[in-house]
Structure 1
Amino acid sequence: MDKVLFREEQKFSQRWLWMLLIPVTLISTLPFIYCIFLQVVVGKHCGNHSGSISDLVVVLSLVMVLMSGIIWLVAKMKLIVEISEECIRYRYPPIIRKWKLVGKSEIESFKVRKYNPITEYGGWGIKGSRRNKALNATGNIGLQLYLTDGRKILFGTQKKQAIESAIKKMMQAQ
C-alpha cells in the first residue's frame, strides 16, 4: 500500500444524541415494566385491554433488544477516512465494514467547505443519495469531492487544514 497522507477517525460525540437515546429507551420500556409490576405484584390489570404477563414480557424483551441494538450501533459507528498518494479509502463500521476506494483518476475536482448537515443531507451518518452522498459523524466542515461520473461525495472532517493539505498532495502526486 502506498504512503498514507491523512487519516481521521470520527465517532458520534454529540451529547444531544445520547440525551435523546436514553430517554427514548426509558419511555419505550417503562410502560411495559409498570404493567408487569401492576399485574404481578399488585394484582391489577393494566389499561382496558389487559394482556397476559407473558405477552408483556415478550414485547418488553423485543423493545429492549431493539433499543440496545440502536444504542450499540451508535456507540460503535465511526467514520474512518484515509488519503494516500493514489486514492481515498473510507469505511463506516459496522455499517460499511470493507474499505471503499475513490481513485485519484475518479476525482474531477474537490474543495474543503462548510456545509449544513441537516438541511443539505438530513443529518449525520451515511446520508444522501447514490449521486450525492455525505459520510459524517460530527461537525459541519467537509471534503467535497466532485467525481468524473457526476457523483458527489462529502466526507466530514474535524481536521480542515490537514485534509486539505493531503488532498492537494494526492492530486499533485505523479
Structure 2
Amino acid sequence: MYDIKTRNVLYKEVQRPQLIIWIIFLSIAALMWYAFIHQVLLGNPFGSKPASNATVIVFWLIFGLAFPLILLKWTKLIVEVHEDGLYIRFMPFHLEYKKFLYKEIKSYKSIKFSPFTRFGGWGFRVNFKGETGYISSGKQGIELTLKYQTVVISAKNPDELIKAMDIKNAL
C-alpha cells in the first residue's frame, strides 16, 4: 500500500460551502458581534434577560470569530479519483481521506438530489434510511452503493467524476 500523496490523481475537485451556509453563519456572527459590542464594550444589556459578560464573550469567540473563520477559510470537500478508488476529505472534520475502494463499491451513478429533502441539509449527514451524505454544495453528485451502505457525495461535475471512475474501473 502506498501513500495518498504519491498516488496518481485521475480526477480532483474541491467544493466550498454553498452561499446559503455562508449567509447563515455570517448572520449569526454579525449578531454575536452586535451583542459583544452592545453589552461588553458599551455596557448596555443585550436583550430583556441578558447573559453575563463572560457568557457573551465566550459566545462571541465561538460564533463571532471561530466558526466564521473555519467556514470561510478551511471548510471544503475534496473529491479525488485514484487508481484504487474514490477518496474524499471533508475539511476540517476529516483528519485523513475517507477511502471508497473499487473492490468495495457494488455500483455508482450520477444523481440529482435535494440535500435538504434527502439529508436535512449540507455537511456530513446520515439520514433515516441509513444513507451517508458528504454534501458541500449544489444539487448533484454521485451515489455509491456499497455492501451495507449507500453514500451520496456532492459533485460539481458528476459526469466527469463518473467518467474518471469508469476509465480506471475498466482497466
TM range (shorter): 0.7 to 0.9
Q: How does 1:3-152 map to 2 (within 5 A)?
A: 3-14=8-19, 16-36=20-40, 37-38=42-43, 55-56=52-53, 58-67=54-63, 68-75=65-72, 76-128=74-126, 131-148=130-147, 150-152=148-150
- Which digits, 9 at most, give the CA deviation of each residue in 1:12-67, with x for residues without a partner? 141x323222232232342453234246xxxxx7777788xxx41x2222011111
Q: 1:151, CA displacement in angstroms? A: 0.4
**Distance in 2, Cα, partners of 1:49 & 1:153:** 45
**1:6 Cα deviation after fit:** 1.0
Letter of the 1:141 partner, please give it.
Q
Q: Check conservation: 1:29, 1:63, Cα contact below 8 A.
A: no
Which structure has the bigger radius of gyration? 1
Q: Could you tell me which residue of structure 2 aligns to residue 42 of structure 1?
A: none
Aligned pair count reads 162
1:120-158 deviations in whole A, cap 9, x for unaligned? 01111111159411112110111100002x201111111
Question: What is the distance in 1 between the residues matched to 2:18 and 2:46?
Answer: 39
Tell me: CA distance 1:119–1:89, structure 2 relative to 1, closer, same or farther (3 Å): same
Dislocated runs of 4+, deviation >4 Å: 45-51
SS at 2:156's partner residue?
A: coil
Instruction: Tell me the percent identity.
Output: 20
Alignment TM-score, normalising by the size of structure 1 = 0.81
Query: 1:73, CA displacement in angstroms?
Result: 2.3
Question: What TM-score results when the alignment is normalised by the length of structure 2?
Answer: 0.82
Deviations 1:53-91 (A, max 9, x none): xx41x2222011111221122121110111122111111
State whether residues 36 and 60 of structure 2, in contact with CA within 8 Å, keep that contact through their aligned partners in structure 1: no
Cα contact 2:87–2:98 (8 A) shared by 1: yes
Supply the distance in 1 between the matched residues of 2:99 and 2:15 (Cα, whole angstroms). 18
Unaligned runs of 5+ in 2: 1-5
